[in-house]
Amino acid sequence: MVTPRLRMTACLALTLLLGACELATETVASPRALVVVHAVLNPDVDEQVILVESSLTGRVRIDSTLRFDPLDPIRTAGGEPLNRADVRLFREGDSVGVEATETELNGLTGRYVVSRARMAIEPGRTYRLRVRTADGREVTGETRVPSAEANWTPGLGTVAQRVTFNRSNDTLQLQWTAVPDARTYAIRVETPNGPWFLFSDSTRFALSGQLRNFFVGGLPSVWYPGFDQIVSVAAVDRNFYDYNRSGNDPFGGTGLISSVRGGLGLFGSALAVLRREVTVLERDRLPLDARWLGTTASGSPMEYDLWVEAVGSPRSSVSGRERLGARRYLVGTLEGDQLRLVTLVGNSSADTVALFTGRVSAQSITGEYDRRFDTRGATQFTRRARTGN
């Protein structure tokens, strides 16, 4: 039985609850823009890259339709570069530093570089960064590069050992020598959908052929049959580890563990300790899994290796590669007998150079290329049993 007092209490609680949902409308001023810096020193590369930009506060209009360009990474990724800054790297005990040069590509880019000829980054050494913007703001940082073995030479970490990997039944076993002053190790696999990335404190790691990319919606496979995928392990400093293990709160703008003073961002270092170029294969399971032979309009032969990468309903995922000439990769879908293939000049889905749509029968594929792309190829293919790699 509900008493009058209980009814009154319930009504009061409901009134307070409803009242609490009424939000006042108030214009909030844009937050102060911060200088954002990203730089990871790497002794193996020919030039050190420092990105300098402004935090986004709604002050400027961002063009989000631009295709990403690694030489203009801030603007083409939707950021606001800070141009004409004085950006310098300092060795231990150096008070003058080496001034970085800003990349110019249809205007200035906020991408500053220091070549190996001007400053060779060495393992086990400490370096400082100083950024002075055109309006007088200053950002500084410091990092110690992880040490290397006695036989280390510049560029050693860019040399990849080639491995053939059948994702149906193989596991890629990785093992490397410990780096005493590394904070941890960063393991990375390049995939068409972006990198798979993980930290490990161990000097051993196993990558299954059935591994999924939990950084991408839908959890696609990490390994794509037909692709050559780079796997790398790097010893990283504390700055790199802290920044990448933390996250940004989109509401409060906090949460990132910044390693620079006077701004926000990362000034860290990494040293490659292992690199593999993995040729990914798959056992043939379905009719599309085969070698497909065709002839281009100019009379040149063309060969595709195709696999159903993941079976779906109603649409399956397809991957593969061109076998002749400069190797290019293929991704696409198969729905019923309708095949859609995208040709990639690199191993990223952003590297599209052709789009083929066709129909698959038991022994042939017939279709055409999208006219938006310049690349042309064979429009008819015949199925062949796969022999060799």
Q: 128 and 263: one domain?
A: yes
Domain containing residue 219: CATH number: 2.60.40
**Same domain for 116 and 46?**
yes
Tell me if 27 is assigned to some domain: no
pLDDT averaged over 10-residue windows placed end to end, the chain, 389 residues: 43 40 55 91 97 80 71 91 98 93 94 97 97 97 95 91 96 96 97 93 96 90 96 97 82 76 97 96 94 91 95 95 88 96 84 92 94 80 85
Domain assignment present for residue 199? The answer is: yes
223 within domain boundaries = yes
Amino acid identity, position 17: L
On whether residue 150 sits in a domain, the answer given is: no
List, in order, residues 6 or more apart from 273 with CB less than 8 Å away. Answer: 157, 176, 177, 179, 185, 233, 234, 235
Residues 41, 136 within the same domain: yes
- Same domain flag for 107 and 82: yes
Question: Is position 348 within any domain?
Answer: yes
Which CB contacts under 8 angstroms, 24+ apart, belong to 91-95?
91/119, 91/125, 91/127, 92/125, 92/126, 92/127
Q: Are residues 39 and 122 in the same domain?
A: yes
Residues 47 and 192 in one domain: no
Report the distance separating Cα 290 and Cα 135, nearest Å: 61
DSSP 221: B
The tokens for 28 are: 């909030």
With beta carbons less than 8 A apart as the criterion, state whether 247 and 191 touch: no
Both 89 and 134 in one domain: the answer is: yes
Give the rounded distance of the alpha carbon of 156 from its chain centre: 22
What residue numbers bound the domain in which 363 lies? Answer: 284-384
> How many domains does the chain fold into?
3
Chain-centre distance of CA 376, in angstroms?
Answer: 29
Contact present, 81 and 111 (Cβ < 8 Å): yes
Same domain for 140 and 256, yes or no, is: yes
pLDDT, position 11: 42
CA distance linking residue 17 with residue 11, whole number of Å: 10
Question: 136 with 253, same domain?
Answer: yes
Query: Per the domain annotation, does 115 fall within a domain?
Result: yes
Does residue 135 sit in the same domain as residue 250? Answer: yes
Same domain, 264 and 293: no
Residue 380 bridge partners (DSSP): 366
Query: How open is the CA angle 353-163-167, to the nearest 5 degrees?
Result: 75
Query: Tell me, what's the pLDDT at 216?
Result: 87
Residues 252 and 321 placed together within one structural domain of the fold = no
Where residue 336 sits, what CATH number does that domain have? 2.40.128.30
Cα distances from 95 to residues 42, 48, 129, in angstroms, run 22, 19, 11
Q: Residue 128 falls within a domain, yes or no?
A: yes
Domain limit, last residue, from 255, 280, 305: 280
Residue 30 lies in a domain: no
